[in-house]
Amino acid sequence: MEKTKIAVIGAGPAGIGVAVEVKEEGLAPAVIVEKTTHACDTIVKLYRAGKRVDAVYQKVEIVPQGRLSFTTESKEDFLARMDSLVSGHALDIRYGQECHKIQATGDLFQVFTSAGLQLEANIVVAAIGIFGRPARPVYPIPGEIRDKVLFSLPRELPAGKDVLVVGGGDSAAEAACFLSRENCVTLSYRRPDFFRINEANICTLNGYCCTGKVKTKMPSDIEALEPEDGRIKVLFKDGGPLSFDLLFYFLGGSSPRVFLENAGVKFIGKRPQTDEFGETNIPRLFLAGDLALDKGSIMGAFHSAHLVKKGILRRYRDLVAGEET
C-alpha cells in the first residue's frame, strides 16, 4: 500500500486548490486520485466550446482568501489556467482511479480505488462534486426485490453471489471488476462495444474478462425484472431470462452521500456534518468544494480549499509537515 500524508479525492477546482494550498504552505505534497483522464471533468464535459466560466455563480459573489482566484473567462482559458496550476506545481494526479472506499484504520486512512490503487494517508480531503441522483431504468423495480437492486457499492460488499452489473461507463466497469473478486459477475451493456470507458479501465476490464472473472452480455437490453424464489429474474429483449442474487445499476449520475456515509460521515438533513474548516465528524477527513458548500461555485471551491488548508495547519501540522520542515 502506497503511503502519502495527504490524499485528495477529485481533481476539480477544489481538489487542485487543496493540493496547491498545502504545497505552497510547505506541507507534504498531496496525492490526488481522479476517476477521469483529465482535470476539471465537469467543465470539460458540460461546457460547450467558448462558453463563459463565471466567477460569480447564481448572483453569489465569493472572494477567496487563499492563493487561487480567477476572473470570468472562456472554458478554454479556464482549463488552460488549471492545467498551468497542475504543471507549475508538479501536482501528483493519478488519473483513471475512481475512489470507491475510504476506511479509517487507527490513526490512518486507507483509500481504495476500483482500478486497484491503494493509498495510506494521514489526512483525506474529499472534493468529488455535487450531490446527484443515480439514473434509474425506465421499467419498474418490483417491491419484492428492491433490497437486491442497488445503485452504488454498499458499505459491506457481498461475497459468493451471482451478480449482474448494468452499464457501459467507467463506474460499471470498475464495479464489475471490484465485485468479481468475491462474486460471479456478469456485465450487461446495451451496445455491442464499450466506448465511454477510459483506457486504463478498459485494459483492466479486458484482463478480468480474459481470465473469466467477469462475463459480458453485449449487446443486451433489459425489458423487465421479476422476483423469482428470492432472486431477481432479468428478462432480456434479445435473449432468454437469467436469474441473479443482486443487480447493480450504473447508468449515470452518482450519490456521494452513500460514499461518504460508508466512510462514516454523519449528515444533518441532506448536508454532511462539517465545521468551519470542512472537517467532518471523523477527525482528519475533510470535505472541499460542492460537498462543503450550500451553493457550489468555482470561487467557493477555491475558498473551501483555503479553509481546509487552515484546518490542517491549525490541527495537524505535525502530521503533514514537508520533509524540508
Express each pLDDT in 249-303 by its tens digit. Answer: 988 765 688 889 989 999 998 889 999 999 999 999 999 998 888 767 899 999 9
Question: Rounded to an integer, what distance in angstroms lies between the CA atom of residue 53 and that of residue 48?
Answer: 11
CA torsion sign, 138 to 144 to 146 to 148?
negative
C-alpha cell at 14: 477544489
Q: Buried (b) or exposed (e) across 127-143, using 16+ Cβ within 10 A? A: bbbebeebeeeeeebee
pTM above 0.85, yes or no: no
Question: What pLDDT is attached to residue 84?
Answer: 97
Q: Which residues, in sequence order, are CB contacts of 176 under 8 Å at separation 6+?
A: 165, 185, 187, 205, 208, 214
CA torsion sign, 152 to 114 to 47 to 272?
positive
User: Which residue matches cell numbers 477527525?
Assistant: 283
Q: Please, which residues bridge with residue 236 across strands?
A: 222
Residues in the chain: 325
**Main-chain phi, psi angles of 43, to 5 degrees:** -65, -45
User: Which residue matches cell numbers 498551468?
Assistant: 84
Question: Helix (H, G, I), strand (E, B), or coil: what is residue 158?
Answer: coil
Q: List, in order of start, the domains of the chain with CATH numbers.
A: 2-131+255-319 (3.50.50.60), 143-249 (3.50.50.60)
Is pLDDT of 132 > 60?
Answer: no
What is the mean pLDDT of the segment spanning 65-82?
Answer: 95
Q: Which residues, in sequence order, are CB contacts of 150 under 8 Å at separation 6+?
A: 246, 247, 248, 249
Question: What pLDDT is attached to residue 226?
Answer: 97
What is the mean pLDDT of the segment spanning 38-55?
Answer: 90
Provide the mean pLDDT of the chain: 91
Question: What pLDDT is attached to residue 121?
Answer: 98
> Where does the pLDDT of residue 170 fall: very low under 50, low under 70, confident under 90, or very high at 90 and above?
confident
> Where does the pLDDT of residue 324 fall: very low under 50, low under 70, confident under 90, or very high at 90 and above?
very low
Question: What pLDDT is attached to residue 152?
Answer: 83
Question: Rounded to an integer, what distance in angstroms lies between the CA atom of residue 174 and that of residue 197?
Answer: 10
Higher pLDDT, 32 or 99: 32
Question: What pLDDT is attached to residue 267?
Answer: 93
Q: Please, which residues bridge with residue 4 across strands?
A: 121
Question: What pLDDT is attached to residue 255?
Answer: 62
Question: What pLDDT is attached to residue 325?
Answer: 34
Question: What pLDDT is attached to residue 144?
Answer: 96
Is pLDDT of 38 > 90?
Answer: yes
C-alpha cell at 306: 483555503
Contact indicator for 174, 100 with CB cutoff of 8 Å? yes
> Where does the pLDDT of residue 62 fall: very low under 50, low under 70, confident under 90, or very high at 90 and above?
confident
Residue 240 has, within 13 A of its CA and on its CB side, a CA count of 2
Contact indicator for 93, 39 with CB cutoff of 8 Å? yes
Give how far Cα 217 sits from Cα of 117, 121, 185, 246, Å.
Answer: 27, 38, 11, 16
Question: Whole-angstrom distance between the N-terminal and C-terminal Cα of the chain?
Answer: 25
Is pLDDT of 306 > 90?
Answer: yes
What is the mean pLDDT of the segment spanning 35-39?
Answer: 92
Q: Which amino acid is at 135?
A: A
Express each pLDDT in 221-233 by its tens digit. Answer: 999 999 999 999 9
Percent of all residues in the chain with a pLDDT value above 70, rounded to a whole number: 96
Is pLDDT of 131 > 60?
Answer: no
Question: What pLDDT is attached to residue 254?
Answer: 59
Is pLDDT of 76 > 80?
Answer: yes
